[in-house]
């Protein structure tokens, strides 16, 4: 996957699924790497959750790709309703996102906690962009819901990671923040 796909006006379901599988695999790899170097419980816990959740989503997306069944498809009018509701309740969810090629192929064998956090924020922003693109393009209910879940989950995680990064940057004890959550 590259940023070129994000420059498209629309994508098809297979492009989304294949791109998001690659994208999630990169997050899993980064999270496994930070498990080897971090000593901060809150970061280790976050990384484990990424590994579990995104591995599950990878399997789910593969099952959709490999399915021989014709999935239930919305009409065009039905498909426009959910994204509009999504925009009403989360009006700023897709604003100010940029594409950063570095998070597609992460091969560093050592990273700091702050590096991991900054990279995951950028990485999640791209997943949100890709989800936004498929939300405008798909008529498949499963993929539409999946894209919305990815957008919401990763938006929450960006907020969480941004707060954590500010905490680490201010040299606060991250265990204090962990106890508040």
Q: Which two tokens stand for residue 151?
A: 């957008």
**Residue 67 confidence (pLDDT):** 82
Residue 30 lies in a domain: yes
Q: What is the pLDDT of residues 140-163, one digit of tens each?
A: 989 999 999 999 999 999 999 998
**Residue 150 confidence (pLDDT):** 94
**Residue 61 confidence (pLDDT):** 93
**Residue 165 confidence (pLDDT):** 85
Count of domains for the chain: 1
Q: What is the pLDDT of residues 49-108, one digit of tens each?
A: 999 999 999 999 999 998 844 444 333 433 343 344 444 544 544 444 444 445 444 455
Cα separation of 138 and 8, whole Å?
A: 14
Residue 15 lies in a domain: yes
User: Which domain range does residue 84 map to?
Assistant: 10-180
Residue 24 lies in a domain: yes
CATH code of the domain covering residue 164: 1.20.1260.10
Averaged pLDDT for residues 112-118: 87
Quick check: 134 and 69 in contact, CB under 8 A? Answer: no
Averaged pLDDT for residues 25-51: 93
The closest alpha carbon to 24, from 68, 57, 70, 63, belongs to: 57
Only one residue has tokens 């816990």, namely 45
Burial class (CB in 10 A: 0-12, 13-18, 19+), 134: buried
**Residue 169 confidence (pLDDT):** 74
**Residue 113 confidence (pLDDT):** 87
Residue 148 lies in a domain: yes
**Residue 147 confidence (pLDDT):** 94
Residue 95 lies in a domain: yes
Residue 1 lies in a domain: no
**Residue 109 confidence (pLDDT):** 58
**Residue 111 confidence (pLDDT):** 77
Q: Which two tokens stand for residue 125?
A: 């922003």
pTM of the full structure: 0.70
Residue 2 lies in a domain: no
Residue 5 lies in a domain: no
């Amino acid at each position: 996957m590259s940023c070129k796909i994000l420059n498209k006006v629309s994508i098809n379901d297979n492009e989304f699924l294949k791109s998001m599988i690659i994208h999630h695999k990169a997050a899993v790899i980064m999270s496994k790497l930070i498990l080897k170097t971090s000593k901060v419980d809150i970061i280790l816990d976050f990384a484990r959750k990424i590994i579990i959740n995104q591995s599950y989503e990878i399997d789910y997306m593969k099952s959709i790709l490999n399915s021989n069944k014709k999935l239930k498809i919305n009409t065009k009018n039905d498909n426009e309703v959910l994204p509009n509701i999504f925009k009403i309740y989360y009006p700023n969810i897709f604003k100010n996102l940029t594409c950063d090629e570095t998070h597609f192929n992460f091969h560093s064998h050592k990273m700091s906690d702050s590096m991991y956090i900054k990279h995951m924020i950028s990485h999640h922003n791209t997943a949100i962009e890709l989800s936004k693109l498929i939300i405008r393009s798909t008529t498949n209910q499963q993929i539409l819901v999946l894209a919305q879940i990815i957008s919401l989950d990763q938006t929450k995680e960006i907020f969480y990671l941004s707060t954590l990064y500010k905490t680490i940057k201010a040299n606060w004890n991250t265990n204090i923040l962990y106890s508040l959550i």
